[in-house]
Amino acid sequence: QTIYLKDYAPTPYRIVSVELDFRILEERTRVRAQLTVEPRPDTAPGTPLVLDGDDLKLDSIALDGAPLVLSAYAADANSLTLVEPPHRRFVLETEVTLEPASNTKLMGLYRSSGTWCTQCEPEGFRRITYYLDRPDVLAPFKVRMSAPKALAPVLLANGNLVDKGELGDDLHFAVWEDPFLKPAYLFALVAGDLGSITDSFTTMSGRKVELGIYCTHGKESECFYAMDSLKRSMAWDERRFGREYDLDVFNIVAVSDFNFGAMENKGLNIFNDRLVFAKPETATDANYHGIERVIAHEYFHNWTGNRITCRDWFQLCLKEGLTVFRDQEFTSDERSRPVQRIHDVQNLRTSQFPEDGGPLAHPPRPDSFREINNFYTTTVYEKGAEIVRMLATLLGEAGFRKAMDLYFERHDGDATTIEAFIKVFEDASGRDLSQFATWYLQAGTPQVGVSDSYDAASQTYTLTLTQKVDPTPGEPTKKPLLIPVRFGLIGPNGSPVGWNGVSGGTVEGDLIVLDSESVTLTFTGVANKPVPSLFRGFSAPVKVESGLSQDDLLFLARHDSDPFNRWDALQSAATTLIASAAQGSTWSATDADALRQALVDTLENPDLDDAFKAQAIDIPAETVVGRHIGKDVDPDAVAEARKALVTALVGPIAEKLTALYRDLAISVPYSPDANQAGRRSLRNGLLALLVAGSDQGAGLAAEQYSGATNMTDRYAAMAISARNWTSEAPALLGDFRTRFAGDPLVFDKWLTASAQAPDGGVIERMRATLAAPDFPRTNPNRLRSLLGSFVMTNPVQFTRTDGLGFRFITEAVVDIDKVNPQVASRILTGFRILPTLEAARRNAGLEALQALKDQHKLSRNVGEILDRILAG
């Protein structure tokens, strides 16, 4: 059953206030809800009240204190209807019994390693009590909870603690009150035997906020980086957006079983523990980076998500795109802006572009869905962030801040829409953004074509930009978008070239506004033939067919003043060579020589920092090249072509790279700061080149593995060895597994690296791993580490012509779907690659999907993804 945005209507009743009473016992939890309900002014008397439920069983029901007669209501697992509620304010009281320990879907109230916790976004609250479980129903919540003291000495919920005490039978209770109106998806409760660290933050207006991070006993010392990140996030949001925290407490709880990364529940964020725990021996630099980012992301939701929330789930991008933009900006300010930008674009290209160019493409603001959980996508999150970034680019820094101020002022307390968001930017800037809004409403990655010419006699430079978007499912024709193109013209000596005048289109400073299918700009007074540097800083989420020669790309790689475009020029140069070789042509020795020289020049440039250099020498992954080729892709050929290019690049300079690799060793104690992390990433980037492209690499990796004093270096050595399946790889994987036995988050790293091995034995090994009696088959982190990384990063084995890789995944999906449909459907999205593959592989994949559809009863989550891929 499909739900449409066009059918949106407010509820006929509103919920004035909520009082909940959770009586938690070891084997079950009783939930009593008292909802004060009121018809809206225009609701006709006699209109039924329909509350949502999911897997609930009603124990008792009363209205204004009197039990309801059977004919007055209808209850089943999925809804509770009051047939003819009173036409006035009334109190509805219901009681249900939950079994959190058997809740393997991890939505609603569940138990993770003994701790009771909740996940309600988007529709989990209806698994706790009957409710109007939608984001436009806002109410104040008061929560009373009791539990056995021994099992749950810690009792937490949203808001402020207002009462606590002892009860008989070794029980105790706590009462939490959240004064802020909130939708049910922001509800949270935690009860358990947890350790904690505490700190405090004084806000800009001088209020003291108590901060706490709760975790399994023994893990406290691994929470300090998260706490530090939280305090820096709170300070940054005040500085950059003028946003202050609003409650007296802010708590974070780390749990081991969690469907996503983390959740922004008001005053009580709940985190997947992989995004909280860090110590140098078991966490990589990337883990520290991720913790900082997600702690910030969830904290920033307090304003963009909680104070201002979404009217309905079609508007998810309103809070997620904006909040991702905010967390990207935070990291840019805390670390290096260009490095962060490259990182974010790389992520966009490896995950969002494939989504947007395949059967699962959808607009950032979709207009229909079967299962909303399938729309927590990289398009909603990361493309959503790019759209906000384009607004910031168009309005400029001051204009953007002014608009954001207006957004907070106008919409605080609202459940609102994308349209209202855009209106704020129009009102604050005086710009007409109606065409811009298409970014939210249309799927697909625009392709921008470039052609230019220079007339020396008249000193005129002509630049033509075109745009087109290929059809996506359900959208055969596309409208032209408003695309901001930040640009510069570079002269033969590498310095900028100016112009006197420009005609034919809109140019605002260093910004071309491409707003139709084709724009031809004529620049006059251009002294020399320039090379155009377009989309500086990746000013729009598009694919550019620059038409630049290898020479021009490498020229930009050396001379562009925009670090992003320097990086991007190298990426394009390498991608082009690999792609053409994978499609049967070959590059010339001159091409490889020129690219090698550009890489060496980059490495030797004293003005560039290590983290940037690491990104510059990172040869595009097979999946990126495959995407670039776009159709009839043979992943074996791509992998071979990539390896051949790396070998050609590295061969003549292997000694030089090895020396540099050795020089970059760090002798001081580990710190996760950006400088050290950058140095390690460059060193490990060199190691990756040497392993893929020289004979001495495999040995170096083995040496690094054994000598490593931190997880970043140890993991890099193992993962690079596994990806290249060196002769040492099996031994390194074996050692890693026993060395860290018993640490689940390190086990994830082993699973991820194991799944990336390109050799023919990988599927059999993964089968054995999954079949081991002690494999935790209900834990999302374990499943995603193994199966998620296999489908997304091991195209050679996943898309095998004999279908073994595809069937391995569909069979796993059948099992996982019974336990946790969200995890199952997420893994299945790996099949979105099918349309890009050569026929034999594509057909093998379709066959596996068809068998999945024909032979199994599947969840709505998996069913929707499956049907969309088959239809695409």
State the Cα angle at 823 between 296 and 748, rounded to 5°.
70
Among Zn ion, ligand ARG, none, what binds residue 693 when CB lies within 5 to 8 Å by partner kind? none
Coil, helix or strand for 570?
helix
- Answer yes or no: are the C-beta atoms of 364 and 380 closer than 8 Å: yes
Residue with tokens 């509350």: 51
Nearest approach in angstroms of CB 125 to ligand ARG is 12
- Residue closer to Zn ion (CB basis): 388 or 687: 388
- Answer yes or no: are the C-beta atoms of 136 and 64 closer than 8 Å: no
Nearest approach in angstroms of CB 316 to ligand ARG is 9
Q: Please give the size of the binding site for Zn ion, defined by CB under 5 A.
A: 2
Residue 578 DSSP label: H
What residues contact residue 743 under an 8 Å CB cut-off, 6+ apart? 282
- Residue closer to ligand ARG (CB basis): 112 or 373: 373
Nearest approach in angstroms of CB 323 to ligand ARG is 7
- Report which residue type is found at 41: P
- Answer yes or no: are the C-beta atoms of 619 and 645 closer than 8 Å: yes
Stretch that binds ligand ARG, among 72-80, 260-268, 510-518, 688-696 (CB under 6 A): 260-268
- Answer yes or no: are the C-beta atoms of 94 and 29 closer than 8 Å: no
Cα end-to-end span (Å), the chain: 19
Report if residue 259 touches ligand ARG, rule: CB under 6 A: yes
* Phi, psi angles (nearest 5°) of residue 670: -60, 135
Report if residue 263 touches ligand ARG, rule: CB under 6 A: yes
Please indicate whether residue 298 is annotated as part of the active site: yes
Coil, helix or strand for 408?
helix
Q: Which of 90, 236, 260, 705 touches ligand ARG (CB under 6 A)?
A: 260
Q: Please give the size of the binding site for ligand ARG, defined by CB under 6 A.
A: 12
Nearest approach in angstroms of CB 55 to ligand ARG is 16
Nearest approach in angstroms of CB 386 to ligand ARG is 16
Report if residue 864 touches ligand ARG, rule: CB under 6 A: no
Residue 6, classified by CB atoms within 10 Å of its CB into exposed (0-12), middle (13-18) or buried (19+), is: exposed
Among ligand ARG, Zn ion, none, what binds residue 260 when CB lies within 5 to 8 Å by partner kind? ligand ARG
How far is the C-alpha of 525 from the C-alpha of 531, rounded, in Å? 15
CB atoms within 10 A of CB 621: 18
Nearest approach in angstroms of CB 853 to ligand ARG is 24
Stretch that binds ligand ARG, among 231-239, 258-266, 697-705, 718-726 (CB under 6 A): 258-266
- Residue closer to Zn ion (CB basis): 142 or 362: 362
Nearest approach in angstroms of CB 381 to Zn ion is 7
Q: To the nearest 10°, report the CA torsion of 70, 75, 76, 80.
A: 170
Stretch that binds Zn ion, among 317-325, 362-370, 494-502, 654-662 (CB under 5 A): 317-325
- Residue closer to ligand ARG (CB basis): 262 or 717: 262
Catalytically annotated residue among 19, 298, 320, 371: 298
Report if residue 152 touches ligand ARG, rule: CB under 6 A: no
Stretch that binds ligand ARG, among 153-161, 255-263, 443-451, 569-577 (CB under 6 A): 255-263
- Residue closer to ligand ARG (CB basis): 320 or 864: 320
- Residue closer to ligand ARG (CB basis): 324 or 648: 324
Site for Zn ion in 264-293 (CB under 5 A): none
What residues contact residue 239 under an 8 Å CB cut-off, 6+ apart? none
Q: Which of 8, 376, 408, 725 touches ligand ARG (CB under 6 A)?
A: 376
Beta-sheet strand order (sheet of 154-157): 108-112, 115-119, 189-192, 154-157
Residue with tokens 């033509």: 464
- Report which residue type is found at 737: R
Mark 444-453 as b/e (b = at least 16 C-beta within 10 Å). Answer: bbbebebebe
Site for Zn ion in 8-47 (CB under 5 A): none
Site for ligand ARG in 280-339 (CB under 6 A): 297-298, 320
- Report which residue type is found at 590: T
Nearest approach in angstroms of CB 57 to ligand ARG is 23
Report if residue 373 touches ligand ARG, rule: CB under 6 A: yes
- Answer yes or no: are the C-beta atoms of 164 and 146 closer than 8 Å: no
- Answer yes or no: are the C-beta atoms of 543 and 448 closer than 8 Å: yes
User: Which residues lie near ligand ARG (CB under 6 A)?
Assistant: 121-122, 259-260, 262-264, 297-298, 320, 373, 376
User: Which residues lie near Zn ion (CB under 5 A)?
Assistant: 320, 323
The residues annotated with a catalytic role in the active site are 298
